[in-house]
Amino acid sequence: MADTLRRLRASAPVTAESPSFASARYSMARIQVTEDASLEAAFARATSIGAKVLGVARVGVWLFEPDGRSLRCAFFHGAGGVAPPPRYLDGAAYPRYVDALHAQRWVAADDVETEEIVGELLSTYLRPQGIRAMLDAPLFRGAELVGVVCHEHVGGPRHWTPEDRAFAGSVADTIALALEQQDRLSAEALAREQLARSQQGHKMEALGRMASAVAHDVNNLLAAIDAMAATLERAPGEESAAKAAASIRDVVSRGAGLTRQLLTFGRSMPPTHRTLDLRQVITGMEPILAALVKGQCDLDIATGQAPLLVHGDSVEVQQVLLNLGLNARDAMPDGGVLRIFADVGISETGGSLAVVTVADEGHGMSEDVLARAFEPFYSTKDPSEGTGLGLSTVYGIVRKMGGVIDVDTQPGSGTLFTISFPLG
């Protein structure tokens, strides 16, 4: 930032300034981008001060696109009734103006009708907007020119004094500082998110190892109980003995289901994965899901036209859909629609993904519940209705397939699960 100030002072000599300029600089020095004060609010405050002090009707913040030539309007301040500018200026249409920005940094025109440097902008931008004079101050990040702050005077010609230029530079400095603060906040937020994901991953791995060990021991006990119950069931005797044996076997069956979920969640060896088409798995599950939600809510399943080839286990994918479907059904006791959709999506880096969404119109989750949603053995249901392993199992399966699961939910507004898998 210090380098920026030195460049601006060198290119815009400062004379003794009026009290209004000094007071405005003090006001701008208090502008900050924080978690409670947005970048847009900082832009609004700085451009509003700039417009008032310089007596212009229009101030725009323009940032260069990646090509370094075209400009995008990131923020515009206009007086009442002033039409906003276009959102985008194609650098190919204004080569002399863009060259001037890169070479001279400042573009100042007391009368746009006579200044050759802005002649390209006359018919398409300046005249339609009623602009007669303009003062464009550069925006720097370090040594890089990243944009320009345009102060535009509507009406007749306007002479820009050295004091005007210096103050326009201060407005640009304030906006550049706001951009730097926003970058820092974004980096800090990303670091916190990555740390939280790492901690959650370690936590889930540790719990998974514990679940795997417990499941094997419990499963051995259940197998012994089941064998004894089967013997009792076949032996001659009172009818009550047969009923008791049937009850034992029913409990064992429930316990076996629990251990299967534990093993899926915590198994240390990867499952047998192969290439499969998610569309086929989803459409194959439609009859089962329809039977599960019948009489309580409606089911809407749709997939895109392109194949969704992923590397995974079809049985595990079915378990993901089953668990999410059951949760959605239980969240809609008064009815609603369970929607499952799958199609090709685009990652933040531009790569292709297989994206599956499962949405309900149920009661949603509070922030406290959402924070623990994927924890094993955590459930908001009655103990007789849920084990707290459903979403933990879903998380484990998605993670083993190299995928990511996100949740968007609010109390009373339903829940949307979005699962992204790498295509392959």
pLDDT in tens, 109-133: 999 999 988 999 999 999 998 999 9
> What's the whole-number mean pLDDT along residues 88-93?
91
On the question of pLDDT at 79 being above 50, the answer is yes
User: How buried is 111 (Cβ within 10 angstroms: 0-12 exposed, 13-18 middle, 19+ buried)?
Assistant: middle
Q: Say what the pLDDT of residue 214 is.
A: 63
Instruction: Evaluate whether 229 touches 173 at the Cβ level (below 8 Å).
Output: no
Nearest to 155 by CA among 114, 110, 200, 117: 110
Q: What average pLDDT does range 26-41 have in this prediction?
A: 85
Question: Which residues does residue 345 pair with via DSSP β-bridges, in sequence order?
Answer: 353
Residue 222, pLDDT > 60, answer yes
Query: Binning pLDDT at 50, 70 and 90, where does residue 336 land?
Result: very high
The mean pLDDT value of the chain amounts to: 81
pTM (two decimals)? 0.49
The top-scoring range by mean pLDDT among 241-245, 286-290, 340-344 is: 340-344
Q: Which domains does the chain have, with CATH numbers?
A: 2-188 (3.30.450.40), 271-424 (3.30.565.10)
Model confidence band, residue 56 (pLDDT cutoffs 50, 70, 90): very high
Is the pLDDT at 156 greater than 80, yes or no? Answer: yes
pLDDT at 226 over 90: no
| pLDDT class of 14 with cuts at 50, 70, 90 | very low
- The reported pLDDT for the residue numbered 251 is 64
Return the SS3 of 171: helix
Query: Residue 105 pLDDT > 70, yes or no?
Result: yes
Question: pLDDT tens digit string along 296-306?
Answer: 899 999 998 88
Token pair of 173, please?
Answer: 């400095």
Q: Of 211-225, 261-275, 336-350, which has the strongest mean pLDDT? A: 336-350
Quick check: 222 and 256 in contact, CB under 8 A? yes
Token pair recorded at residue 256 = 């076996």
For the chain, how many residues are written? 424
